[in-house]
């Protein structure tokens, strides 16, 4: 999927490298074009890229109060979403960041209720020093040191103090270690406003938000590990597991299970890459074989023939909607349908960040149509001139076809998804019409 490493084709890695050296707006525009050209592709890459760009916006942009920052994030978010509307995770990350900012802001208000924040901050927040615009560390793109440097030691200790005094405030519930039940909105008015007598400045606030965004990034990175942990519960010895173009998450899930027990995997590959597909899954096949499990590469598109044999179907989600529908790689919907017809369980894997509050989509709107030359050569004049060729890239599985969702927080049923949503998103962000025409 991803363009080859090295080479000149832009990719997520290259984009992240350029972040530090460019002004924020240029980075945003560059990301938009990368998304439009699908050069950053796949939900995880899109989520990471979005988180990074929002971090840049928070760290480098000029903003003087919370509302301004929210507005800025919303604007950038709308642009990003418009550039790749089928990738719901972009909107998810934007909303997560918005919710994070709101949380931090309300926490601040609690800290010093006397001086209602925005007006107070205004004067303090002089335009950002140019130092802020330079360089996060090249390898792990953590908080830009510029921003850190700006924090007085005082501010830092204060945030540390917060961290110690009331963990609910600073470790947001979506941080990986938290339990699903952790209450998110607790910040609002939960603690008695103790007048610290210290003026929280924008820099401290900024660093809190940056910390929060980094936690989101960490969460995205740790999804695979945490999802893996459940694999032994799902997969039993001797099972026949059917997977469709497994993502890294699914592959790791299976290899973990294979380390404990032996089972058979029916691996359905992308038909357009009959020979190259072998390479893509070679490491996976090797690690499965080394632990004694069998991988059978299935070269069929209709999988009903295998359903009488298969025990479970495991699919990686591109995104999960609030009602339980799942966006998947094209071809997987037919598999899920066949599984349901045969009464086989369909298990969806994906991080919590893939669960979207978006509800207004019709099923067919979520199909992404792609390159028709996948199967039909452009040189084939008879086809090109007379036949309408459609080729889907991703499609939608209705929630009714799915039994279980496994996220980094554990296994969920469809009815449970909305609780996760309310845990992770603010009401006002969920209702924010991110798909509306952004005023550019």
Closer residue to another protein in complex, CB, 18/363: 363
Closer residue to another protein in complex, CB, 174/284: 284
Contact present, 261 and 235 (Cβ < 8 Å): yes
Least distance to another protein from the beta carbon of 4, Å?
Answer: 22
In three-state secondary structure terms, 397 is strand
Least distance to another protein from the beta carbon of 73, Å?
Answer: 34
Contact present, 91 and 48 (Cβ < 8 Å): no
Least distance to another protein from the beta carbon of 272, Å?
Answer: 6
Q: Encoding tokens for residue 54?
A: 């929002």
Closer residue to another protein in complex, CB, 174/361: 361
- Which residues sit opposite 439 in a β-bridge? none
Closer residue to another protein in complex, CB, 206/318: 318
Closer residue to another protein in complex, CB, 97/303: 303
| Token pair 């952790």: residue | 182
Least distance to another protein from the beta carbon of 292, Å?
Answer: 14
Closer residue to another protein in complex, CB, 161/369: 369
Least distance to another protein from the beta carbon of 17, Å?
Answer: 34
| Residues forming the site for another protein (CB under 8 A) | 240, 264, 269, 271-272, 274-275, 278, 285, 294, 296-309, 330-331, 333-334, 337-338, 341, 363-364, 367, 369, 374-377, 379-380, 382-383, 386-393, 395
Least distance to another protein from the beta carbon of 348, Å?
Answer: 18
Cα 342 from Cα 304, distance rounded (Å): 8
Q: What is the DSSP string of 279-338?
A: HHTHHHHHHHHHTT-EEEEE--S--HHHHTT-SEEEEE-SEE-TTS-EEEETTHHHHHHH
Least distance to another protein from the beta carbon of 41, Å?
Answer: 16
Closer residue to another protein in complex, CB, 166/270: 270
Write the CB contacts of 105 (distance below 8 Å, at least 6 apart in sequence): 66, 117, 205
Closer residue to another protein in complex, CB, 374/418: 374
Cα 80 from Cα 73, distance rounded (Å): 10
Write the CB contacts of 310 (distance below 8 Å, at least 6 apart in sequence): 240, 241, 242, 266, 303, 339, 344
Least distance to another protein from the beta carbon of 362, Å?
Answer: 11
Q: What is the DSSP string of 48-100?
A: HHHHHHHHHHHHHS---SHHHHHHHHHHHHHHHHHHSTT-HHHHHHHHHHHHH
């Amino acid at each position: 999927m991803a363009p080859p490493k090295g080479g000149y084709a832009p990719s997520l890695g290259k984009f992240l490298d350029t972040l530090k050296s460019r002004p924020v707006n240029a980075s945003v525009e560059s990301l938009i074009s990368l998304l439009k050209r699908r050069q950053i592709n796949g939900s995880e890459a899109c989520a990471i890229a979005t988180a990074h760009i929002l971090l840049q916006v928070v760290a480098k942009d000029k903003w003087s109060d919370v509302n301004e920052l929210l507005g800025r994030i919303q604007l950038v978010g709308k642009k990003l979403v418009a550039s790749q509307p089928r990738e719901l995770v972009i909107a998810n990350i934007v909303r997560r960041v918005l919710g994070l900012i709101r949380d931090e802001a309300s926490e601040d208000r609690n800290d010093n209720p006397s001086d209602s924040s925005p007006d107070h901050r205004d004067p303090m927040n002089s335009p950002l020093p140019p130092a802020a615009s330079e360089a996060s560390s090249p390898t792990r793109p953590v908080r830009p040191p510029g921003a850190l440097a700006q924090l007085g030691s005082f501010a830092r200790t204060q945030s540390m103090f917060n961290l110690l005094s009331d963990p609910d405030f600073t470790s947001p519930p979506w941080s990986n270690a938290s339990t699903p039940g952790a209450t998110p909105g607790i910040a609002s008015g939960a603690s008695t406003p103790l007048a610290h007598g210290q003026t929280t400045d924008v820099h401290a606030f900024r660093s809190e938000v940056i910390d929060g965004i980094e936690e989101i990034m960490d969460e995205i990175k740790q999804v695979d590990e945490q999802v893996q942990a459940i694999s032994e519960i799902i997969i039993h010895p001797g099972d026949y597991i059917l997977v469709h173009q497994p993502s890294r998450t699914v592959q790791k899930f299976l290899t973990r299970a294979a380390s404990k027990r032996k089972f058979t995997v029916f691996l359905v590959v992308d038909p357009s890459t009959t020979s190259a597909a072998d390479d893509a899954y070679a490491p996976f096949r090797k690690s499965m074989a080394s632990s004694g499990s069998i991988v059978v590469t299935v070269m069929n598109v209709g999988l009903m023939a295998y359903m009488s044999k298969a025990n479970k179907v495991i699919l990686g989600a591109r995104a999960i909607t609030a009602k339980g529908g799942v966006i998947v790689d094209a071809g997987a919907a037919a598999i899920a349908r066949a599984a349901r017809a045969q009464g086989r369980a369909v298990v969806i894997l994906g991080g919590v960040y893939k669960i979207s509050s978006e509800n207004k989509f019709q099923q067919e709107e979520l199909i992404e149509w792609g390159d028709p030359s996948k199967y039909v050569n452009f040189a084939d004049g008879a086809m090109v001139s007379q036949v309408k060729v459609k080729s889907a890239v991703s499609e939608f599985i209705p929630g009714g076809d799915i039994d279980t969702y496994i996220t980094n927080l554990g296994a969920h049923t469809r009815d449970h998804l909305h609780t996760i949503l309310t845990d992770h998103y603010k009401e006002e962000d969920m209702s924010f019409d991110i798909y509306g025409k952004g005023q550019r």
